[in-house]
Amino acid sequence: MTLSLKDILSVTLILFSIIDIIGSVPIVIDLRRKMGHIQSEKATLVAGGIMILFLFFGEALLGLFGVDVASFAVAGAIILLLMGMEMILGIELFKSEPTESNTSAIIPIAFPLLAGAGTMTTIISLKSTYETANILVGIIVNLIIVYIVLKSCGWIQKKIGPGGLSILRKVFGIILLAIAIKLFKENLGL
């Protein structure tokens, strides 16, 4: 196992484009608005744990439950579809329960937003081209970027204001719906 800077950079850029944390900022801000506080550390660690678990045991884990990658992608697409509907229509489907002490935002952020079906499928695909150590470093670099962006969402929200946030929420809601439809089409053979 040898680390290659070129391979690490390639894996990092591929995962960065799939995770799309910059594009997810309006979604994170919307969750923050509904639930108050986003636990950036926990969301990043949960997403990282999912990605690393999937790196080493992804195909076997899905096989254990009799789930193929396509079915997993469709499940993630349904969650993304519902989140997009929330953003566009201004409705609340993912409700925060008082007993959850505002930790419920960790799940939609960690999965499917950061470590969703696209990320997991990509990680499995990367294993055929890159060594596991290079993929692991690429995941860690992306998690650092994710953490920084999640921590900055409050500052970003203040800078764009309520009007800008409303526009971004609608635009990214449509983009989220488009991603969900794409996942459906690719994984249902439509």
Rg of the Cα atoms in the chain? 17
pLDDT at 158: 86
pLDDT at 105: 67
What's the first-to-final CA gap in the chain, in angstroms? 40
pLDDT at 180: 79
3-state helix, strand, coil in the chain (%, to 5): 80, 0, 20
3-class SS of residue 131? coil
b/e sequence 115-140, b meaning 16+ C-beta within 10 Å: bbbbbbbbbeebeeebbeebbbbbbe
Q: What is the pLDDT along the chain (190 residues), one digit of tens a residue?
A: 789 999 999 999 989 888 888 778 888 887 887 777 788 999 999 999 999 999 999 888 888 999 887 787 787 778 778 878 887 887 877 665 544 454 556 878 888 788 987 788 789 878 878 999 999 999 999 999 999 999 998 888 888 887 887 787 788 778 878 877 887 887 787 6
Q: What distance in Å separates the CA atoms of residue 123 and residue 105, rounded to the nearest whole number?
A: 24
Give the pTM.
0.73
pLDDT at 99: 41
Contact of 72 with 183, CB cutoff 8 Å = no
